[in-house]
Amino acid sequence: MVAGESRVDLEWDDDEVIPEKVYPDTDFVFPKMAEVTLDMVALYGGERVLDIGCGRAIDALQLAKRGGNAIGLDPSSKMIREAKIYIGDGNVDLVRGIGEALPFKRRSLDKIICKGALDHFADPPKTLEEMSQVLKLKGEAVIAIANFESLSCRLGRSWYPILKKFRRVKDERPAWQPPPDHTYRFDCPLLRGLAERHFEVKKTTGVSLLWTAPYWGKLLSILPRGISMTILNFLDMIARRVPSLSDVIIIKGTPRND
């Protein structure tokens, strides 16, 4: 469950999120994750929507363009500075804060998203509780997170001893191990279990299959782009139906009326 130290990095930045060498599977998964997450928010005009762990506020700006009264929250002063530059004159309010102590009135928000950030927080269960309290009772939270029990991670763990035996292992963190700045190692049962303490989970879906599986990106890179995209889109369709094996898990829920 726990992957790293429980602390808040007030100067975190996203410089190392995208690797230097980007293969087609990585080029596919991040935009698709954003697309599916934002579509699941299903904004109505004028709704107050909060992006927790907003980073550069890329998603928050898209939510504003879709008609939401968007707020981006991040604990990192560096990310808040980068977000101000990115949004420019865009209609997004930025707040420096942590998910474990959301600075909003009870039942004051219509929608919340938390994309690719929950496993960075010092206390994800507390963050989920806070989310459920600041949302209106009919409001919705959409949470997207990397799945460390994906088919890709399982294949990676299985192949690792073989690759190590033949000295095909690079001196770097395997893709199936959470990075050092992750506090939790999420999979589908864990995410749903924590969310269901405070939310009625209405939908669970997956995004992408085989991202970072051994040699998968390299194989895709030698194929014509049209063929690699067809393969990736087909696998993504399968991921929708099997979130437990998908690269990214996305859940949507409403606060419990306790």
The answer to whether residue 135 sits within a structural domain is yes
* 16 part of a folded domain: no
Going by pLDDT thresholds of 50, 70 and 90, the confidence category of residue 258 is: low
Structure tokens at 5: 């130290």
Strands 248-255 vs 135-146: parallel, antiparallel or unpaired: antiparallel
The predicted model gives 199-221 an average pLDDT of: 95
Q: How far is 160 from 169, CA to CA, in rounded Å? A: 8
Residue 17 lies in a domain: no
Weakest-pLDDT range from 1-10, 13-22, 238-247? 1-10
| pLDDT score, position 4 | 44
Q: Is 3 part of any domain? A: no
Per the domain annotation, does 220 fall within a domain? yes
* pLDDT tens sequence across 175-194: 888 988 889 999 999 999 99
Asked if pLDDT for residue 137 goes beyond 70, the answer is yes
Domain that holds residue 224: 24-255
pTM, 2 dp: 0.90
Mean pLDDT, the chain, whole residue set: 91
Element (H, E) at 93: strand 92-96
Nearest to residue 133, comparing CAs of 106, 160, 110, 108?
A: 106
Q: Which backbone phi and psi does 137 adopt, to 5 degrees?
A: -60, -30
pLDDT score for 174:
78
The amino acid sitting at 249 is I
> Per residue in 14-23, pLDDT tens?
555 556 678 9
Here the CATH number for the domain that contains residue 32 is 3.40.50.150
- Provide the pLDDT confidence category of residue 164 given band limits of 50, 70 and 90: low
Residue 132 lies in a domain: yes
Interatomic CA distance for residues 143 and 155, integer angstroms = 25
Domain count of the chain? 1
Residues 149 and 79: their CA atoms lie apart, in Å, by 29
Q: What percent of the chain has pLDDT over 90?
A: 78
Q: Is residue 10 part of a domain?
A: no
Average pLDDT for residues 220-240, to the nearest whole number? 97
The residue with greater pLDDT, 181 or 53, is: 53
